Amino acid sequence: MYPDWIDIGLVRDVPFRGSRVVTTGKGDIAVFKAHDGQIFALWDRCPHKGGPLSQGIVIGHSVTCPLHNWVVALDTGEVKGPDKGCARKVALLIEDGRIYMAAAALQWNAA
């Protein structure tokens, strides 16, 4: 139906203030749902030392990495505060309660 988009599941299956991991051949993608229901996706690797962002704490539209507490903006992947870096963002399409990720994301190397 959408050749450029890959169905990765239902919005309702992602917990509020939490995440769900989508495994791909290029690595894991963390799909987050903020308190207000907005959905975001980042490769599940912290730009600091590769910590699993999917296991971080979601506050507002940010996630705090569980390893060393860097704070990453969910909408851009940019690290906030004095730290520098950027997690790779994955473009999403939300339609009829389903989440689709951009197929082009899999052409990049997440490592």
Residues binding ligand FES (CB under 6 A): 46, 48-51, 65, 67-68, 70
Shortest CB 84 distance to ligand FES, Å: 12
Shortest CB 31 distance to ligand FES, Å: 18
Buried b (16+ CB within 10 A) or exposed e, 80-89: eeeeeeebbb
Of 34 and 42, nearer to ligand FES (C-beta) is 42
Of 15 and 50, nearer to ligand FES (C-beta) is 50
Of 46 and 101, nearer to ligand FES (C-beta) is 46
Please give the Cα distance from 14 to 21 (Å, whole number): 9
Please give the Cα distance from 35 to 28 (Å, whole number): 22
Shortest CB 80 distance to ligand FES, Å: 12
Shortest CB 48 distance to ligand FES, Å: 3
3-class secondary structure for 2-59? Answer: CCCEEEEEEHHHCCCCEEEEEEECCEEEEEEECCCCCEEEEECCCCCCCCCHHHCEEE
Of 86 and 94, nearer to ligand FES (C-beta) is 86
